[in-house]
């Protein structure tokens, strides 16, 4: 199963061009969609999920034309948006059963089996009788994934799923997403570079509605090998170095500003070579389109 996005554009009524001739091919597994806030990630996710129409372009999932047959996609879709509301006075078991009914699972025994399986899979079985209003942020996110998995979807979209989670909950969520990605097309939209590094075998970096880079994370890192250098400088010197070099990012360490630059040759002048990570790849592409130059 493959998701094909071709020449997608979205222009809002106020003139904002949120997606600009965006094309992506997404196969089974974990696909990371990486970009700063306002890059167009959520617009793209909502468009794929048939919650809004693009201005132009096409989306197909397998043999389903998503734009002309949205119901055909919805039968195969699981979606966890960036912001979602839950009924605080309903327990997770009852609400998940309700979602299963909405998905067309009419047999009560079948629903009970599915609900039990998903609550165990998301580690919520022991709290299934507790009202959702008592859940922690991580538990609510895990319930969000549980509802997204009702009906055994072939495409799962999760938009900024780990924002605000503590490290333990992020790890649990990562493990759950990795397991799902073994059998499903999973799109992980995030601005957290580490999530893509840890989870995804394929990715795209987008900014201002455009695809800046795409491919395997390690391949993108390899392209910058031997080209990233670091130097500690005074804050007053940063602008001068920005004029002389391709500045990727800056980072404050122990009271001094560390600048990271890209150069195909050793710049000398006290610069130290560093092994690139996906973070450097991300800022290498994004810093050329925005004013972002800090980690």
pLDDT the model gives residue 195? 87
Residue 211 has pLDDT above 80, yes or no: yes
- Give me the residues paired with residue 262 across strands: 228, 246
pLDDT the model gives residue 219? 95
Binning pLDDT at 50, 70 and 90, where does residue 56 land? very high
Between 108-121 and 92-102, two packed helices, what is the crossing angle to 10 degrees?
Answer: 120
Torsion angles phi and psi, residue 85, rounded to 5: -105, 145
pLDDT the model gives residue 254? 72
Give residue-wise pLDDT tens across range 226-254. Answer: 999 999 998 888 899 989 999 999 988 77
Residue 295 has pLDDT above 60, yes or no: no
Distance CA 252, CA 241 (A): 16
Angstrom distances, CA of residue 51 to CA of 73, 149, 215: 11, 18, 27
Distance CA 179, CA 107 (A): 27
pLDDT the model gives residue 292? 46
**Is the separation of the CB atoms in 27 and 204 below 8 Å?**
no
Give residue-wise pLDDT tens across range 92-123. Answer: 999 999 999 988 899 999 999 999 999 998 88
**What does pLDDT average to over the chain?**
90
pLDDT the model gives residue 121? 87
Q: For tokens 């799923």, what's the residue? A: 161
Residue 65 has pLDDT above 50, yes or no: yes
pTM for this predicted structure: 0.86
Distance CA 252, CA 256 (A): 6
Closest CA to 105 of 151, 147, 67, 51: 151
């Amino acid at each position: 199963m493959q998701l094909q996005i071709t020449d997608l554009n979205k222009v809002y009524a106020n003139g904002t061009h949120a997606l600009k001739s965006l094309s992506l091919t997404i196969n089974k597994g974990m696909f990371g969609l990486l970009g700063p806030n306002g890059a167009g990630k959520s617009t793209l996710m909502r468009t794929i999920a048939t919650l809004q129409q693009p201005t132009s372009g096409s989306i197909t999932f397998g043999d389903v034309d998503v734009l002309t047959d949205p119901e055909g996609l919805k039968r195969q879709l699981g979606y966890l948006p960036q912001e979602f509301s839950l009924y605080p006075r309903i327990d997770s078991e009852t609400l998940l059963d309700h979602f299963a009914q909405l998905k067309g699972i009419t047999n009560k025994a079948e629903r009970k089996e599915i609900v039990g399986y998903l609550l165990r899979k998301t580690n919520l079985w022991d709290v299934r009788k507790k009202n959702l209003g008592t859940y922690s942020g991580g538990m609510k996110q895990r319930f969000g994934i549980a509802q997204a998995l009702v009906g055994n979807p072939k495409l799962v979209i999760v938009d900024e799923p780990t924002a605000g989670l503590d490290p333990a909950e992020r790890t649990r969520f990562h493990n759950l997403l990795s397991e799902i990605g073994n059998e499903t097309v999973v799109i992980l939209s995030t601005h957290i570079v580490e999530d893509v590094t840890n989870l995804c075998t394929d990715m795209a970096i987008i900014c201002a509605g455009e695809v800046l880079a795409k491919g395997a994370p390690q391949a993108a890192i390899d392209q910058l090998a031997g080209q990233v250098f670091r130097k500690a400088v005074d804050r007053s010197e940063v602008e001068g170095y920005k004029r002389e070099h391709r500045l990727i990012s800056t980072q404050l360490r122990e009271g001094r500003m560390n600048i990271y630059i890209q150069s195909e040759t050793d710049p000398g002048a006290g610069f130290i070579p560093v092994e690139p990570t996906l973070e450097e790849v991300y800022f290498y592409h994004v810093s050329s389109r925005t004013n972002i130059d800090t980690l």
